Structure 1
Amino acid sequence: MPQLRRETVLLGILGLFAVLAVGRAGWTLLVSPVLTAKANADKFASEYSLKQRQLANARRIQQKIDAWKKQSLPAEESVARREYQNWLLKLVQDSGLDEEQVYSGEARREKDLFTRFPYTVRGVASMDDLTRFLHGFYSKGYLHEITRLTINPIKESSDLEITIAIEAIALDGAEAVDTLPDVPPRFDIAELDVYRDSIVERRLFRPYQPPRPIVQRPEPPPRPEPPPKPEFDPVKYTFVDGIVEVIKNGERLREVWIRERTSGETYNLHENETFEIGKRSARVLKIGLRDVEIELDGERRVLKLGQNLYGSRRPGEDEEDT
């Protein structure tokens, strides 16, 4: 009996192993294709995403190439060299450089895709001239760049010795054929005066000079108002110029000539006649042989020939024209 029990247990264990082996084989047969399909799908998705990124990158590159073709010098080497050198020489002259020299180096082909044209500009210029040149250079959207700029101040002068290395590019298939392309600048360019204010006014190559100290000066006291000018008095310049006898209506009368010298007006007056000098009134009271009595503002005065109406003779009046 014990032996039979052991055999039964062994058979049970063997059966269990058999079931496990069959189950594992079945699991492998069922799951393995699914896992393989999933791995293939993941690989395809990864490759698809990579291709999409490569395609998008290729499109961006193509857009850049299309833009560069619009900015490129003409593809024909001789045309590109001639047109760009003429433009560069005119820019140098318009910028005001002295002793200017423009050199054209040997053109170089790159990977059968484009041609490089090196240029060198030398001259003597002020900082304002250099600023004008750089503004004109970057105002054009050509495929060109300044690869090196050397500035040497000239002793005892505000001028500079400058050397500018430039490289321009002509792409195969460029849109421009016979002339340089008409394209806007590749980035925003302000007006020339903006750069003059920020560059030229700084005096980059002069020794530093600290700003002048601000001196607080006391406010000067206000000036006293000048005294009012005395009001002009024409009486002072009105004189007895002559006494004559005239016949009026068959009657012999004495007549006095009173002359206002500021206006040149002469009054021919008889006794009891009134006249006005400026804003003041006067009346002839009596005319003698060599003097006359008048009333001025209610005050009687006796005036001799050559005297003014105040009755006082001014120095030198005898020499004046009467």
Structure 2
Amino acid sequence: MTQRERFLAMAVGGLFVVIAFQWGFNRYRDAIKFRDNRLAGLQNEANTLNEKMLAGAYADRQMGEYMVRSLPSNPERAQSTYQSWLLGTVREAGLKDAGVDPVSDAPVGDLYHRYGFRVSGKTSLNGLVGLLHDFYARDYLHRIRELNFGPSRTGDLNVEMTIDVISLSNAAIDAKIPDRESWRIAQSLDETRESILNRNFFQPPNQPPVYAGDATLVAVKGQKTDVRLKVDDPEGTDVNYELEGELPEWASFRADSGTFTFDPPADPENSEGENGEDAGDGSAEVNSEPVKVVVRMTDTGYPRRQIEKTLLVKLENAPPPKEPDPLPPKFDDATQTYLTALVQGRNDWTAWMNVRTRGETLKLQIGDLFEIGSMKGSVKSVSARLVLLEIDGKEYELRPSGKLSEAVALKTAEPSEGEASAAEESATTEPSATEDSAPSAEQSEPPSEQTEGADSSTEPTPQSRLD
């Protein structure tokens, strides 16, 4: 064998060795790969089985939870129980004209029974938030399928909602109402209202309250006084009060009504003398500086608005006692006193005054004093046509059938010489009559005629009337 043949044989032998090694390596690699794939498949199957076991355990646990939350399996009892609870919840939320009506009742396979209810009514946004919070806080198997609400003309919200609730077929017939709150409620009712109601989309922005009282509150020594703050809220909501600052011992503040109560002693600084004895009537003047306090007023609208007002509490002496006003007469006899007649006697004329309330007739002549009800004075002159009275320094004219309280005030004028002489002549020519005679016929003459005697010096004017 030549050298060339030997090299060729060695190359062919090496090639066979390489091919054999490659085949063996491939077989080994395929076996490893098959084993890995088999292991991965088995692991996947194991994982799938574990997932099914976990899902079954979770489903079993979930089914146990559903059993606790489920309505009774008896359809009549389930519907009645839930409707009663829903109606009570709606009333507690303050729904007006509330209605809770069943609308559907249908089984779903052999697993559960589904009931539908419709709730309607009117309430505020505050009441709606409370209703939804109470609904989701109760751990029933229920949901709100549809909710519609909007503002009405009266300012409330018209609310309509459709609710679905289920009862499991294998639940207890006498299942109890869940008494625990649902884990789905993450906030309390107050926190929920705070986060929702401060974004009121159905009303204008809330306006802050307005303080309409005085900036200085006066406390009187020796007197207990209640002073309520005058606060007006544009929306008419309630106002809460909070006081900052210290009040004297004789003052207090009620935050529920915004009322200060002042009860200072007669003399809080000098109530005792130097030796511990009583200082007396406490009339010494006390120079007390006003006490400054700050009152914070917050309304209950949404969003809440707040204002602060600085007030001064000032201490003052008690005013002197006021004299009581004289009591008015129960009835004025002057309003029922009439001039019934003017009678001429031997010496002079007499005015007959009939006081109807007393059932008597006063016969008054010139110079006589009288006091009838609120009228007190004297008779200045009497003539055939009228009587002239002087009351409180003023002259009043009263004619027959006239009421004393309506006597006409006269404006006095100085008589001329001609008028005085004419008056004297008419007085001398006046006919005489007996005192017991009937009233003179001249009293029926028109009041526009000139008055005789002393009456000629006065001129009647409708200047005033006595009440």
Q: What TM-score do you get using the length of structure 1 for normalisation?
A: 0.57
Contact 1:98 1:123 in 2 (8 A): yes
Aligned ranges 1:251-266 → 2 under 5 Å: none
Shift of 1:97: 2.1
- Identity score, percent: 24
Aligned to 1:68: 66
**What secondary structure, in the 3-state scheme, does the structure 2 residue paired with 1:105 have?**
strand
CA contact (8 A) 1:127 1:160 kept: yes
Which range is displaced more, 186-195 or 14-23?
A: 186-195
Write the deviation string for residues 214-263 of structure 1: whole angstroms up to 9, x where unpaired: 9999987988999xxxxxxxxxxxxxxxxxxxxxxxxxxxxxxxxxxxxx
Offset at residue 70 of structure 1 (A): 0.9
The secondary structure found in structure 1 opposite 2:98 is: strand
Work out whether residues 120 and 160 of structure 2, in 8 Å CA contact, stay in contact via their aligned partners in 1: yes
Q: Counterpart in 1 of 2:325?
A: none
d(CA) in 2 for partners of 1:50, 1:104: 44
- Residue deviations 1:266-306 (CA, integer Å, cap 9, x gap): xxxxxxxxxxxxxxxxxxxxxxxxxxxxxxxxxxxxxxxxx
> Is 1:172 equivalent to 2:166 in the alignment?
no
Give SS of 1:96's match.
coil
- State the match for 2:390 in structure 1: none
Q: 1:185 aligns with which of 182, 187, 205?
A: 182
Q: TM-score, normalised by structure 2?
A: 0.41
Determine which structure has greater relative contact order: mean sequence separation of CA pairs < 8 Å that are 6+ residues apart, divided by chain length.
Answer: 1
Q: 2:87 aligns with which of 86, 89, 97?
A: 89
**Structure 1: how far apart are the matches of 2:23 and 2:59?**
53
Within 2, Cα distance between the matches of 1:218 and 1:71? 56
* Alignment check: 8 A CA contact 1:146 1:164 kept: yes
Query: Could you tell me which residue of structure 2 aligns to residue 158 of structure 1?
Result: 155
Residue of structure 2 in register with 1:104 after alignment: 102
Deviates more, 1:183-192 or 1:145-154: 183-192
Task: Summarize deviations over 1:4-30 as a string: whole Å, max 9, x none.
Answer: 333233222222222223333433455
Alpha carbons of structure 1 residues 49 and 152: separation in structure 2 relative to 1, 3 Å: same
CA distance in 1, matches of 2:102, 2:149: 20
* Conserved? CA contact 1:99–1:124, under 8 Å: yes
**CA contact 1:71–1:183 (8 Å) conserved in 2:** no
Give the drift of 1:182.
4.3
Instruction: Give 1:76 shift.
Output: 2.6
Match for residue 49 of structure 1 among 47, 59, 62? 47
Alignment of structure 1 residues 1-322 onto 2, 5 Å:
4-155=2-153, 157-175=154-172, 177=174, 180-188=177-185, 192=189, 204-209=201-206, 211=208
Deviations 1:90-138 (A, max 9, x none): 3223433222222212223334322221111011223344344334323
> Aligned pair count?
224
Q: Please give the alpha-carbon distance, in whole angstroms, between the structure 1 residues aligned to 2:79 and 2:313.
A: 73
Decide whether aligned partners of structure 1 residues 111 and 18 sit closer, same or farther in structure 2, where only a CA change above 3 A counts. Answer: same
Contact 2:138 2:178 in 1 (8 A): no
- On the 8 A contact 2:74/2:173 being kept in 1, the answer is no
Contact 1:70 1:176 survives alignment (8 Å): no
Question: Which runs of 5 or more structure 2 residues have no equivalent in the other structure?
Answer: 211-305, 319-467
Structure 1 CA distance, aligned partners of 2:41 and 2:79? Answer: 52
Distance change >3 Å, CA 122–CA 9, structure 1 → 2: same
Q: 1:223 to 1:184 in 2, by over 3 A?
A: closer
Give, in whole Å, the separation in 2 of the partners of 1:137 and 1:183.
13
Question: Is the contact made by 2:146 and 2:162 (CA closer than 8 Å) also made in structure 1?
Answer: yes
CA contact (8 A) 1:79 1:179 kept: no
Partner-residue secondary structure (3-state), 2:72: coil
Q: Distance in 1 between matches of 2:181 and 2:307?
A: 50
Instruction: Go from structure 1 to structure 2 and tell me whether the alpha carbon gap of 1:34 and 1:166 turns closer, same or farther (over 3 Å shift).
Output: same
SS at match of 1:112: coil
Aligned equivalents of 1:159 and 1:130: distance in 2?
10
| 8 Å CA contact retained: 2:118, 2:162 | yes
Contact residue 119 and residue 167 of structure 1 kept, 8 A: yes
**By percentage of residues, which structure has more helix?**
1
* CA distance in 2: counterparts of 1:150 and 1:208, whole angstroms: 23
Provide the rounded CA distance (Å) in 2 between the counterparts of 1:33 and 1:134.
65
Amino acid at match of 1:170: S
Could you tell me how far apart the structure 1 residues matched to 2:308 and 2:80 are?
63
Give the conservation status (yes or no) of the 8 Å contact 2:71–2:168.
yes
Aligned mates of 2:188, 2:27 — CA distance in 1: 78
Distance 1:112 1:216 in 2: 65
CA distance in 2, matches of 1:194, 1:159: 22
Label 1:33 to 1:178 Cα distance change in 2 as closer, same or farther (>3 A): closer
1:221 and 1:142 map into 2 onto residues whose CA distance is 57
Question: Is the 8 Å Cα contact of residues 70 and 175 (structure 2) preserved in structure 1?
Answer: no
What is residue 272 of structure 1 aligned with on the other side?
A: none
